A = this chain, B = another copy of it.
Amino acid sequence: MRISELATRSGVPVATIKYYLREKLLPEGERSSPTQAAYGQAHVQRLGVIRALVDAGVGIAGVRKVVAVLEEPPENPYDLLGAANAAVTPAVSADLDLTAALALLERMGGSVEACFPDQVAAVAHALATLDRAGFTVPEPVMDAYLAHLGALAEAELAATPDTSIEDAVRYVVLGTALVEPLILALRRVAEQVAASRRFGAGGA
């Protein structure tokens, strides 16, 4: 198909598609003449992934990393998960105290060797932000976070498709980045449901 049809089918304007082509986020179409290129279903799919990541708040640098993982997926599923995860994990300041984060990691049953530095740093950064605001997560709540997020991760991992490496990458990358807004939205709804159960109130 031509670029105009690609725009219609994907819902992405031609100018934006050209921008993604220049940024090498989207592979070039097949040249059919010096001024024309033909695009296929793979382009529609890739545009869907890019738009979803952008909508989810992932910056162009993050999208670029995801595209790199999609184009050259690592063979080991563990490295795959790590690369996908790292692609959508924003880097945080390196001079953080990791003590509390490592303690949580241990309570979760994990070791520091099992994790990527950026991931531990992200936990440390989140804890530092809470600390700065003078907010302490009560111990029983932290226990609940560790237990339930652990169980949730096990369920997610168990469902990783084994049909092809592309399917697995897609599942991990999108499942990591795109599912986050869903998890946060469901948590807020769950809090509201729990509150209405506890306080017996009707609604806004």
Contact = CB atoms under 8 A, between A and B. Distances in A.
A108 B186 CA distance: 9
A48 to B, nearest CB: 5
Contacts of A204: 79, 82, 86, 116-117
Interface majority SS on A: helix, strand, loop or mixed? helix
Among A85, A126, A195: residue with most chain B CB under 10 A:
A195
Contacts of A82: 192, 195, 204
Nearest to A115: B192
B114 A149 contact: no
B182 A137 contact: yes
Contact of A145 (B116, B138, B178, B183): B183
Interface in A144-198: 144-146, 148-159, 170-171, 174-176, 178-198
A62 to B, nearest CB: 14
Interface size on A, as a range, is 35 or more
A172 to B, nearest CB: 9
A104 interface: yes
A87 B106 CA distance: 34
